[in-house]
């Protein structure tokens, strides 16, 4: 499967609008500035497939990218904005909830976790919510190149130790860096294997 052939398909402002996508959906979500857009760009080998920004809250819609008509990569709005209004934050979170609970073709949602910092309560709470609602999920650690290896390993281990409190079995996990491309090919291969490619 050639992720380099990814094409932007459409942005949706509500789940009810998603009636023209029948392929398996592999979604990505995380806190602002976790590196979501950078990861999608690295995976598709395109610098501007997903819009990156230093300002949190850039993704405000559900953005679909088509991969050879076999699957869709889905860029979801982030959660936990510090600098958007409460009303806007609730609107984003409403879109996220609707999509995760109502999308008929969601295969998995990858929750992006910043490996350069200790576990964040909001990430753990979001994953616990997914577990309670039986939303299929995986973990993608990002920014594994930002700190010294020992610190990065300690952060990831601490996060997994917290997850054990909520999950009997840990979700599938990937360690990546959009900068060095570590783990990007592994993630892409895993996605392709899920649909027999």
pLDDT of residue 16: 85
Other residues' Cβ atoms within 10 Å of the Cβ of residue 54: 6
Other residues' Cβ atoms within 10 Å of the Cβ of residue 176: 27
Quick: pLDDT tens for 72-94: 999 998 886 555 556 655 665 78
pTM for the structure as a whole: 0.91
Phi-psi region of 53 (alpha: psi -120 to 50; beta: other; left: phi over 0): beta
Domains in the chain, please, with CATH?
3-194 (3.40.50.300)
Cβ contact 196:24 at 8 Å:
no
Task: Give CA separation, 147 vs 115, 116, 118, in Å.
Answer: 8, 6, 12
pLDDT at position 162 over 90: yes
Quick: pLDDT tens for 46-76: 888 876 555 544 557 899 999 999 999 999 9
Residues 6+ positions from 130 with CB-CB distance below 8 Å: 100, 109, 111, 137
pLDDT of residue 21: 79
Nearest to 18 by CA among 100, 88, 78, 92: 100
Task: Provide the 3-class DSSP secondary structure of residue 193.
Answer: helix
């Amino acid at each position: 499967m050639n992720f380099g052939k990814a094409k932007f398909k459409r942005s949706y402002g509500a789940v009810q609008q998603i009636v023209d996508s029948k392929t398996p959906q592999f979604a990505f979500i995380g806190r602002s500035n976790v590196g979501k857009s950078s990861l999608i760009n690295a995976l598709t080998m395109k610098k501007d497939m997903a819009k990156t920004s230093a300002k949190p809250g850039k993704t405000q819609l559900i953005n679909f990218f088509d991969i050879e008509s076999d699957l869709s990569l889905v860029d979801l709005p982030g959660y936990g904005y510090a600098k958007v209004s409460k009303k806007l934050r609730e609107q984003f979170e409403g879109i996220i909830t609707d999509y995760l609970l109502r999308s008929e073709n969601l295969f998995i949602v990858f929750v992006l976790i910043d490996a350069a910092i200790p576990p964040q309560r909001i990430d753990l709470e979001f994953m616990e919510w997914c577990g309670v609602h039986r939303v299929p999920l995986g973990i993608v650690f990002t920014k594994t190149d930002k700190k010294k290896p020992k610190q990065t390993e300690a952060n990831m281990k601490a996060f997994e130790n917290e997850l054990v409190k909520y999950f009997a079995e840990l979700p599938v996990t990937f360690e990546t860096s959009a900068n060095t491309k570590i783990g990007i090919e592994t993630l892409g291969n895993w996605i392709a294997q899920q649909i027999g490619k």
